[in-house]
Structure 1
Amino acid sequence: MKITRQLQGFALHIADRLIPVKPVVRPIQELNTLERESRRMHLYLATNCPSSISIKRHCKRLGLRVVEKDVRRVDAFLNELVHGGGAPRVPCLRVDGDKTSDWLYSPEAILEYLERRF
């Protein structure tokens, strides 16, 4: 089962590189607001994780420029994830507020938050 998930992740990674995502067309004022809001979000992901790839593509489709942090490439990102969120699981979306940060781990919860917010 782990091998099929790895193969699926590898295939999705290749498809993500080859097939571009067309973002939603929005007015310029809304794009400026999205730019400010999306810089407060950090997406912790793994390159070959199918859930991470789908969340990343969904963010691009919405026109969000979230900060992407690959935990398999940079150990500091993994440390941030473990110390801040409490678990070394990807995908994880960190939303920085004024005083606190919210950590969303479930792909369903991340998609629900993005659809509700944007």
Structure 2
Amino acid sequence: MGVIRWILGRIILVVEALTKPKPPKLNADQHQAMVAFSKQVTLYQFQACPFCVKVRQASRKLGLPLAAKDAKRDMAARRELEQGGGKIKVPCLRIQQGDKVQWMYESDDIIAYLNQATTPITQAD
């Protein structure tokens, strides 16, 4: 079973590499705003998880440089995820706005949040 999982993981990563979306063309102000926003969010992931790939692809499509922590291999990240979010489940987006921290699970919810949060940035002229 481990060998099959390893092979499927490699296939997922190859497909991700071959289908990387191109980021949008952003002006300097939009790029700065995206970088500033990206400092508020961190993606907890497993590298070959298809739902994590879906979130990473969506962030690339938005032009959002998304910081990611591998909760499978990085035990400190795994503990952060379990203590902060309450469970080891990926993908999980950690959103920090000031002193308030929110943990968001589910790839579709994460993508919807990223789209909604970055729309004002990409629509600005």
Give the deviation of 1:4 after TM superposition.
8.4
Deviation at 1:20, TM superposition (A): 3.4
Deviation at 1:15, TM superposition (A): 1.7
**Within 5 Å, which residues of 2 pair with 1:36-115?**
36-115=36-115
Q: Which amino acid is 2:39 matched to?
A: R
**1:44-72 deviation per Cα after TM superposition (whole angstroms, max 9, x unaligned):** 01011100011011111111112110111
- In structure 2, the residue corresponding to 1:22 is in which secondary structure? coil
Deviation at 1:35, TM superposition (A): 0.5
- Alpha carbons of 1:101 and 1:45: their partners in 2 closer, same or farther (altered >3 Å)? same
Secondary structure, counterpart of 2:102 in structure 1:
strand
Give structure 2 stretches of 5+ with no counterpart: 119-125
TM-score using structure 2 length: 0.83
Alignment map for 1:18-33 (pairs within 5 Å): 18-33=18-33
Q: Distance in 2 between matches of 1:75 and 1:96?
A: 21
CA distance in 1, matches of 2:89, 2:20: 26
What SS is found at the alignment partner of 2:112? helix
CA RMSD between the two structures: 2.0
CA–CA distance in structure 1, aligned partners of residues 24 and 12 of structure 2: 22
The CA distance in 1 between the partners of 2:113 and 2:19, in whole Å, is 25
Structure 1 residues not aligned, in runs of 5+: none
Task: Give the paired residue count.
Answer: 116
Based on CA coordinates, which of the two structures has the bigger radius of gyration? 2
Distance of 1:7 and 1:24 partners within structure 2: 32
Relative to the length of structure 1, the TM-score reads: 0.88
Amino acid in the other structure paired with 1:70: D
